Every structure is written in structure tokens, then in C-alpha cells.
Structure 1
Amino acid sequence: MDSRSEISSFLTSRRARLSPEEAGVPRYGGARRVPGLRREEVAHLAGVSADYYARLERGRISGASREVLEAVARALQLDEDERRHLFDLVKITQRRAPRTKGSTRTHVRPGIQQVLDSIDAPALVQNARLDRLAFNAIGRALHSLPADGSRDHYNYATWLFLDPDAPRFHRDFDVAKHDVVALLRAASAQDPYDRELIEIVGTLTTRSEEFSALWASHDVLRHRSGTKLLTHPDVGDLEFGYESFELSADPGLVMLVFTVEPGSPTAEAIRLLGSWAAPSHREDEAAQTETEQERRT
């Protein structure tokens, strides 16, 4: 990652989206040559010289104090995710030597799987580059995955943009695509030398024009909570809330738990999916037990 280029593109994109009216800047007569704010207007709002802000926007951010960066973030009206992203990009410029291998986890501990299995709503664990690593039984049923867990490992971003089933699963498809790209953009600043993430972004950029356009927008997002509108091939339209939990003992992993309003059509649909998934789960356990008994004999 070229950190200077990333900082420049990010600051430029945030300036372009902010109108003078939104920033409280007087609009004088005459046509404006740039969308959004001018550099000198951002500089004025941040309390720095126009030349100094222009230097920051060119990515020459070494030596900029935290106070100045906070002032720029306020001037550009960055939200918390965008502010953290800016500081992540700044940290990259301060590293003496890049890591050659990313540190994103690719497996879950048995204890985490046990926690997933104890949850009676759809739940899964994924890492920062959106590799989905583990599900509980109802989570597999919701995502039409085999009950034996053989397909729990896959990259959600690649599936979302390249699999023909994705548009049929997501009723909020455009929102889902935007959010996935924003999550990957944020992850790329947290671990810019993750080779697998670089490969995912490279593949999707070359194979999906929509991904490429969304990536160029420099929007960022981090897991919190929200709503998902899905359609399951067997039980129809579903509406979930979801909550995300960073696993403190497993840095880089996030657990997503889908929430269901009691008494809703989605609650009934999930009850049906759970009843269909449970027998398969018991059959798998019985088959495994029988196999182990045969090995012992």
C-alpha cells in the first residue's frame, strides 16, 4: 500500500462530498471549479494555513500533530469510523519496515465453536478480511450451508460480488455490497500488508466494475450493529437485526449474532429452519459415533 496516495485519496474524497452549506462556509457568486469544499476552506475550518493543508492532502503527513489531525477530522466532519481510518493510515507512514505477512486469524478455537453452538439464533465468526470461519447450526441453515460444516470457510466479499446466488439472498443487496467494501477498506488500513486481503481486493477490482467503483469511493465502516433483509429459498423473506462482538481473546475475529423480534414472521421461519437443521445435526453426530465405534473394533 502506498500510504501517501491512500491518505491523499481519502482526504480528497471526504472534502469532495462536503458542501459549503453543510460545512457552514459562505458561498459567494461564481461557479465553483471543484465539488465540495476547496482546500483553503478546509484549511480555514481546521485552523491551519492553506499551504499546510495542501501538503497534508498530498499525503505528506509526517510530523503532523494529533491536534492538527483532529482539527482536520472535525473540519471534514469525519464520523468515528472515518476518523479512526485516517489515524490508521497515518500509523502506516510511521512504521519503519512493513510486515511481509498479515496476521489475520483463519481458525476458531473449540471454545468459540461451543459458544456459537449455544446460541439459538443464527451466528457466525469472521475475520477482518471477511473470511467466514465458523457457524452454528441455524446459521448454516440460514446461509444454505451443509450441516456438517464442510463449507463454513469462504470469503464473504468474494461470494457477494461473484456468486449468482448472492442477489437472490440479499434483499438489501446494494447496501450489503457498499458495507462489505467499506469494511475491507477499513481493514486494509489496519493491516496493509495482509497478502490474502490484497489478493481479494485485486481479484474483485479486476472482476467486478461495481466493486472497483465502490473501492474508489474510500468509504469505511467497522462492525457494530444494524439490519439485514434476506430471502431464504425455503422460508422466504426474513428481517434481522444483528450485533457484532470483537473477540478479545482472539484479536481480529468478530462474532455476528442475528437477532429476531419475538412473534414475528422471521421468528417462525427461523423456528422452522431450526427444526429442519436439528435432525441433520443429530444424524451427523450419530454417524460420527458409529464411525468411531467401528474404528475401535
Structure 2
Amino acid sequence: MPADTVREDISKFLTSRRARLTPTKAGLPAFGGRRQVSGLRRSEVAQLAAISVEYYTRLERGNVRGVSEEILDSLATALQLDDVERAHLAALVRASNAPHRTTDRDGGTAHVRASLQQILDAMTGAAAFVRNAHLDILATNQLARALYADALDTTGQPPNLARFVFGDPRARRFYRDWDGIAHDAVGSLRTEAARTPGNADLADLIDELATHSAEFAMRWDAHDVEYYRSGQQRFHHHTVGDLDLDYDALEIPADPGLTIVTYTVAPASPCTSAFLRLRQHGPVSAEESSPRTSSSPS
């Protein structure tokens, strides 16, 4: 990622976070009269962060060389950033101060060890797949192949969840909370773009999505960031109907950039029988329909 691009991302990220805050939310007195800016003024952020207006203006323009962790922490607190946003800002600052460094994470890796497939296949009560940080699905178990049949039904290999969400009309039927999954997909990619600024494959994927999907481009420009870690996802499966499943995203320390995503059904859930019926759909063996790995993630 070129240095100018990183500085622009820092500027837009800070500006967007400032715009979402009001004096009331920030605990500042709201004086009468019409405000000419959306959200807080620069002077108000500077006041909250205990820095000068000139220094904050410099930071918001993307000039973060030499900024200390203490200043970043004060700024994050002033802007009420959550943990994901704090980590994102720190990653952008690192990228800006070392724009040409070689990244130490291959977020687009397409290699899945045989033992990982064995782990997936052993999860007979959960739908599980391995994905990389580009949201490519690299390996699946039987229940995941049945659950994600539409997403896996693509000529492009490996299948990519962001391409499915923003490029396949079936996604809006499959995800009952399509807006939520679209937010998470874009936020995950933006988080990874900051962590791996030299990742040309990821940049190509983002350019492709923004070119072909106005919805993606709009969400990308919002500079929201997200970690897909745990929660509940609501599906509508074309064969078994509605499914409310608990998900967990488990990072794999031995394989940086790879994550096992599992979907399980809560005990006594009304979706239990429908979830179990997924076993009757899709191929039994991994070789029949597992995503094929390749040297190019996108």
C-alpha cells in the first residue's frame, strides 16, 4: 500500500470517527446555534485528547510520524474507539511509518495442511470451514458443504465469501441478516488491508469488488472495521429452511492468516432438526466438493 494511500486512510478514518460523535455523546457542553460540521469539531477532539488543535490537525491529515502510543491512546479514547478500531488505527500508523516493509502475515494463503482437514471432518456436529483473511473458503467439512452449498457453487476457485455476498443474488436469501454480514465482510477486509499494507492480491480483490458492486464501494468508503469472532448468524437454507446458528471464528496460531469458522446449534433450539437434516444434503466425502486450493487467492 503506497504511503500516500495509508495517509489518506488515516485521514478518512479519523474524520469519519469524529463525524459520528456529538458533543453530548462526548460529554461536552452543547452550546446553542447551528454547527457547521458533522460531529465534533477538531478543536473539541483536541480538547478531549489533551493535545493542541494544530497537532490534532496534523494527525487527521495523516501525518503520524513520531506519534507516541500515549497520544494514540488519548486520541482513541477521545473518539470513543472500540478495541477493533484501536487496533486498526495502530496498524495504519505502523504502515505509515514503514510503508515499504514486507508483511509478516500471508493473509491470502491458500495452503491447508492435511491435519486441518482431519479436524474439520472430525467435527460431525458442527458446520466448519477454513478461510483465509481474504475470505476465501479453503476447506470444509460435510455440514459446511451442505450449509454453504450456494457460496461454494462458483466457477472461481477458491470460493470467496465477499464475492458471494456482494456478487451473487442468492446471498440476500441465504443470509437473513444480509446487511450485518455485508458490514462484517467489508470490515474484515479493511482490517486486513491495514494489517498487511503490501498485499497486492488483497488490493486487487478490493478493487474488483468496488468496481462491480456499488454497495461494496459505499461500505468501503465508510471506513468501518470489524472482527468476525463470535455471535449468531441467521440463515435461510434453500432445502431445510431457517437456521439460527451460533458461530465462532478460531484463529490458527500455526497457520497465520487462517481461521476455522464453526456453526453450531444451541441445545433444545427449534432449529436442531433442520440443522441435522443438512447431513442428508451435499456430498459425504471432502474430495467431492471441497474448495480446491491454489497458489493465487484471488
Q: Give TM-score, length-normalised by structure 1.
A: 0.89
Contact map agreement 2:120 2:140 (CA 8 A) in 1:
yes
| Residues 1:107 and 2:111 are matched in the alignment | yes
Aligned mate of 2:129, from 124, 132, 135:
124
Shift of 1:169: 0.6
Partner of 2:292: none
- How do 1:1-297 and structure 2 match up within 5 A? 1=1, 2-95=5-98, 97-99=100-102, 103-104=106-107, 105-119=109-123, 120-144=125-149, 153-277=158-282, 280-281=283-284
Q: Which amino acid counterpart does residue 54 of structure 1 have in structure 2?
A: T
Cα distance in 2 for partners of 1:97, 1:187 equals 16
Q: Which amino acid counterpart does residue 26 of structure 2 have in structure 1?
A: A
User: 1:77 and 1:273, CA in 2 relative to 1: closer, same or farther beyond 3 A?
Assistant: same
Cα distance in 1 for partners of 2:214, 2:61 equals 27
Gaps of 5+ in 1: 286-297
Contact map agreement 1:125 1:133 (CA 8 A) in 2:
yes
4+ aligned runs moved over 4 Å, structure 1: 282-285
1:219-248 Cα distance to aligned partner (Å, 9 max, x none): 001131011110111100110110111101
Contact map agreement 2:42 2:57 (CA 8 A) in 1:
yes
Contact map agreement 2:151 2:161 (CA 8 A) in 1:
no
Corresponding pairs, count: 283
Shift of 1:47: 0.5
Q: Which amino acid counterpart does residue 187 of structure 2 have in structure 1?
A: A
Contact map agreement 1:88 1:190 (CA 8 A) in 2:
yes
Cα distance in 1 for partners of 2:104, 2:159 equals 20
Question: 61-70 vs 256-265, which deviates more?
Answer: 256-265
Shift of 1:164: 1.7
Q: Which amino acid counterpart does residue 10 of structure 1 have in structure 2?
A: F
Q: Which amino acid counterpart does residue 163 of structure 2 have in structure 1?
A: T
1:70-125 Cα distance to aligned partner (Å, 9 max, x none): 00000000000000000000010121624499722112100011001111210111
- The secondary structure found in structure 2 opposite 1:265 is coil
User: 1:28 and 1:16, CA in 2 relative to 1: closer, same or farther beyond 3 A?
Assistant: same
Q: Which amino acid counterpart does residue 117 of structure 1 have in structure 2?
A: D
Contact map agreement 2:129 2:144 (CA 8 A) in 1:
yes
Shift of 1:272: 1.1
Larger Rg: 1
- The secondary structure found in structure 2 opposite 1:256 is strand
Question: 41-50 vs 103-112, which deviates more?
Answer: 103-112
Tell me the percent identity. 45
Cα distance in 1 for partners of 2:231, 2:186 equals 16
Cα distance in 1 for partners of 2:219, 2:56 equals 26
User: 1:204 and 1:276, CA in 2 relative to 1: closer, same or farther beyond 3 A?
Assistant: closer
User: 1:228 and 1:249, CA in 2 relative to 1: closer, same or farther beyond 3 A?
Assistant: same
Contact map agreement 1:131 1:153 (CA 8 A) in 2:
yes
Gaps of 5+ in 2: 289-298
Contact map agreement 2:131 2:138 (CA 8 A) in 1:
yes
Shift of 1:276: 3.9
Q: Give TM-score, length-normalised by structure 2.
A: 0.89
Cα distance in 1 for partners of 2:195, 2:169 equals 30
Shift of 1:152: 7.6
- The secondary structure found in structure 1 opposite 2:226 is coil
Q: CA RMSD in A?
A: 2.4
